[in-house]
Amino acid sequence: MKDWFVPAVVATGLLTTASSVSADVPEIEFHLVPQPKFASCLGVEGGPSPSADVIVERGELSDILILHAHHLKPNLGFDLFTIQNSNLLASGEPDPNFKNFGLAWYQTDVQADGRGEAEVAIKTILLDQIFGFDPAAALQPTHTFHVGFWFNNPQDAAACGFDPTKPTPFNGEQHAGPNAMISLPNAVTDLGPLCTRPIKENDVFICKE
């Protein structure tokens, strides 16, 4: 893996007021949190809780995302996506109104080593402008401001109640397990962390592109 230079100054927050709009912050940092239902299959029993830190560096033409995950079960494989919706609230609790993850983009594989550590980097459009659309399917431009990774092997989450005969499509073979870790929405804007320029439009927040 290439070593990416990461400046020391990190901008960590989204806006918390409705009336102001942030400047183009050079970097953001946020965390992914384990899915409560599958946390025991993600880490080592009796060991530290799994964690994942994400840094995104803004570039002129594209951005760089670097993910560091710690205390995973050794040698587990995962698949990282940027997605439209998180199924967790800002508190980390399951969202009772969650329907689905919405639009999802497959970004990279994530592989834990023998110590349960993982590191990946991707370079693409990420901050504020990441979106997809499909006029033929009546899909309007749709942003994917959340980040999450899924168990690559459905069997790896079976002990936590996941049914391996009903896989999810979140890997290259469209035969994956459940979500393992995911980003949380901002408590005020309800937007994912890849939006750094939220503005209020009527009663909801959107991202200023």
List the domain boundaries for the chain: 27-207
Please give the class, per CATH, of domain 27-207: mainly beta
pLDDT of 113 strictly over 60: yes
pLDDT band at 8 (very low <50, low <70, confident <90, very high): very low
Q: What CA–CA distance (Å, rounded) separates 66 from 180?
A: 18
With residue 42 as reference, give the H or E element that holds it.
helix 39-42
Mean of the per-residue pLDDT values for the chain?
Answer: 90
Q: What CA–CA distance (Å, rounded) separates 205 from 103?
A: 18
Q: What CA–CA distance (Å, rounded) separates 38 from 159?
A: 9
Instruction: State the virtual CA torsion across 98, 103, 105, 109 in degrees, nearest 10.
Output: 20
Pick from 25, 68, 50, 82: nearest CA to 160: 50
For the chain, the distance separating the N- and C-terminal CA atoms, rounded to the nearest angstrom, is 31
Query: In the prediction, which pLDDT does 23 show?
Result: 63
- Over residues 42-100, the pLDDT tens digits come to 999 999 999 999 999 999 999 999 999 999 999 999 999 999 999 999 999 999 999 99
